[in-house]
Chain A
Amino acid sequence: MIFKKTKNLELKMDAFLDKISEAGIVYRRGIKNYMNKSGDDFERHVAQIKQLEHEADELRKNIETQLYTQTLVPESRGDILALMETSDDVIDRATDTLVEFSIENPNVPEPFRDGFIELARTTVKATEEMVKAMRAFMRDPLNVRNYLHKVYHWEKESDRIAGELKRAIFASEDLKLSEKIHLRYFALHVDTLADRAEDVADRLAIYTIKRSI
């Protein structure tokens, strides 16, 4: 009975991490669709990421309730909940960014499209390594470090690409200042996903030390 409940909780946690990972893929493809002017596909990805966000929220609340009502893992419960909430920010951020693209429909000139696609690809790499680090934290804490340094690497890489993209945007002579500011705002938002992944990695670094016996 007690093992059944635990197994159930393990499955929910795995499902939660799957949602974050899947949201990363949807986010990357959504941005690519937008840049390639595939409007229908883009909107389909917006709807898909909204659904993933909702499902991840439900799973998070469910796990949190179960952890508290059944007083499970009292020593690490606070850490696990903090991790889940911070990683939930990643999926929220990804959803918000795609929705903002959908609402504001920014005009991205041809020379900057590949830059945005590359930025999205790099930020999603940071989130993928973050998910791997979280899975390791649950089962194999000694392996967490192997993923954390990759999160930090891709976060730095995202910052570099975002910086270059913003410089290129502001160096452009074909855009009005309002368009430049609008594009900078989107470059910033796409990049923020990697920052959220870094926040999770920072927490994981500490919690992993606490988890060692």
Chain B
Amino acid sequence: MLVMLFLSSGLFLGWSLGANDASNIFGTAVGTRMVKFYTAAIVASIFVVLGAVISGAGATHTLGKLGSVDMIAGAFMVALAAALTVFGMTKLSLPVSTSQAIVGAIVGWNMFAGKPTDMAALTKIASTWVMSPILAAGFSLVLFFIVQFIMKYWKIHIFRLDVYTRIGLIVVGAFGAYSLGANNIANVMGVFVSVAPFDTLHIAGISFSGVVQLFLMGGLAIAVGIFTYSKKVMMTVGEGVVKLTPQTALIVVLSQAIVLFLFASKGLETWLMAHNLPTIPLVPVSSSQVVIGSILGIGLAHGGRGIRFRVLGRIASGWVTTPVIAALISFVSLFFLQNVFDQQVVKPTHQATLQQNISLETPGHG
């Protein structure tokens, strides 16, 4: 029971991810009524869970390198600090991403625990934040010209194009949901991995490790978020913020899915390594920022008209402000959890335990 209480912050992060980020995948399709909400929700939920369970380990491993939270109470507070950062910054209408918040929160835990932050891992993660929207813009630019070429030379009837686009939006949406689950489960459950309190389960001859069970729970939390709250966000995305045609929506979702997949796929990493090619770091990236990159690609394909550079500036500022705020919240709240609620948030080292024992035995103390 206590375990579930500690996991609740991660599950809340998962719910919030499902509520918000599913709209990046199916928002335009549902908002423009090309795909029914329940079709989108079912497809997204199934593939988010599959992505999380099958391919979630890669990005989680990178987060683990940044800082390995070693007590479940600490993991609870790190996830909660990230969730509070996302909630607070969203309320203040500031650009925010769960991926950046969780990284900040982990760094906050490192500071609190007095452990060094792996700067190489941090640099790698931060560079992907910059790289991912740029890469998405590149992919959508290329895809735009491919789709334009197909439409020009195949002369598809408007009614038939509608059917192809609907099917495409569902198929590409499924790929996008899989990639989102694979890439972003690290944000939701990554900090709990090294303290996973579950034993391996054997059901029908299949083993489910503690980590897989964690990812499954996180994936289900995302699915609950999709079903309970994403419709409202999807309608807003589809109708308001950016006007995309169904075909450009397809391009945006596909380039987003490719980018999320690139930053999550261990299989691709292994293949690149086997062919002596440079690998792509497996890091959780912000799907919202990747989507903005994709839309930017469409804007560039149209000759750069209507690109709002202020929006891009706000995203770049979020790369700095989000982790800093999350680190501070994490540090302060870990202090409170340890000293006010008397919860151990950092595993004591052997030396610290010895010192504590000595101080208890020395007369005059206590």
Q: Which residues of B contact A138 (CB under 8 A)?
A: 157-159
Determine if A38 is an interface residue (Cβ-Cβ < 8 Å): no
* Docked-complex contact A74 and B32, CB < 8 angstroms: yes
Which of B33, B158, B162, B245 has the most chain A CB atoms inside 10 A of its CB?
B158
Chain B interface secondary structure, helix, strand, loop or mixed?
A: helix
Partner of B151, one of A6, A73, A74, A213: A213
Question: Per-position contact with A for B116-160: 1 when CB-CB < 8 Å, else 0?
Answer: 000000000000000000000000000010011001100111111
Interface residues of A in 196-213 (CB under 8 A from B): 211, 213
Query: Within 8 Å of chain A (Cβ to Cβ): is B173?
Result: no
Residues on B with C-beta less than 8 A from A7 are 160
Total cross-chain contacts (CB, 8 A): 49
Contact residues on B (Cβ < 8 Å of other chain), bracket: 20 to 34
Q: Which residue of B lies closest to A67 (CB)?
A: B159
A9 at the interface (CB under 8 A from B): yes
Q: Is the interface of A mostly helix, strand, loop or mixed?
A: helix
Q: Which of A25-55 contact B (CB under 8 A)?
A: none
| B148: nearest chain-A partner, CB-CB | A213
With A and B bound together, what is the CA distance between A13 and B251 in angstroms? 28
| Given known contacts A6-B163, A213-B247, A213-B248, A73 and B148 CB-to-CB distance under 8 angstroms | no
Minimum CB distance partner of A9 in chain B: B159
Asked if A213 and B147 sit within 8 Å, CB to CB, the answer is yes
Interface centre among A13, A73, A74, A142 (most CB of B within 10 A): A73
Are B247 and A139 in touch, CB under 8 angstroms? no
Question: What 0/1 pattern do residues 1 to 38 of A give for CB contact below 8 A with B?
Answer: 01100110110010000000000000000000000000
A21, chain B: closest CB distance, angstroms: 18
Given contact pairs A3-B160, A10-B157, a sample of 15 additional A-B residue pairs in the complex whose CB atoms are under 8 Å apart? A2-B163, A6-B157, A9-B159, A13-B159, A71-B33, A72-B159, A74-B33, A75-B32, A75-B34, A75-B246, A80-B158, A139-B156, A213-B148, A213-B245, A213-B251
The 9 tightest CB contacts between A and B, nearest first, are A74-B33, A213-B247, A73-B162, A140-B155, A139-B155, A6-B159, A9-B159, A138-B158, A10-B157
